[in-house]
Structure 1
């Protein structure tokens, strides 16, 4: 069992969000749907919470009402193997969302994501400060990360 589980508070669209996310990521599924009982604050039978997995990682989503909103202060970081994976995830997660600088985006539910190729971290933290600086400068000009442009900046 996973010791720490991200818990996502949606106003009322948890089920829609979970369907969206599990359709995007591999090795993903709904584990358990929790519905409101009679006599509670929500209509009986409505979705209160959902236990689900994305890429084998456990999450919980709830319909908690309008008290809290997502912010970019917490984001879901996705490590990508190649440009095809970056492109696929970026295209899907930005549907109805917003592209932000440096590989960040906000999806249509307000959840912040970082879609980052593994090579970016390798290149950005190279021991050669000139190469690392070139990569940092290139990344700062991007929204979706372009691996070919990162490699060109790294090569100098």
Structure 2
């Protein structure tokens, strides 16, 4: 399981008087790490895009690495700045808390150097961000 403390909580289906075939999934209610979501099946004419994505708040590099590996396996695609698409085409940004802390550093030089280091990264590497901030 990619996310601990996750489960499907309910599923509804199209009935006879709906625009989709009776019995097709209409909605799925689920929890990812305890956060509730509802997904709606609008039909095959609608596709995932970067307009909708999930951000994962990671406590350390091990957690970044674990989510990155789990979500890029079996056809997932890496992108820039901590973004990726899973094998279904859903976009995720895997963000270590340390990045947020460095970008909020009151020393704007440190924050700018951390941002500059992050921009060309695919998976975010905390040690590289810290090294860039410390070199400012």
TM exceeding 0.5: yes
Q: What TM-score does the superposition give when structure 1 sets the normalisation length?
A: 0.78
Q: How many residues align?
A: 134
Map residues 1-156 of structure 1 onto 2, 5 A cutoff.
23-95=1-73, 96-156=75-135
Cα distance in 2 for partners of 1:39, 1:71 equals 29
Provide the alpha-carbon RMSD of the alignment: 1.6
Q: What TM-score does the superposition give when structure 2 sets the normalisation length?
A: 0.89
Q: Which structure dedicates a bigger proportion of its chain to helix?
A: 1
Cα distance in 1 for partners of 2:22, 2:46 equals 23
Cα distance in 2 for partners of 1:133, 1:36 equals 51
Please state whether the residue corresponding to 1:34 is helix, strand or coil: strand
Deviations 1:35-72 (A, max 9, x none): 23345443333322211011111111232213322221
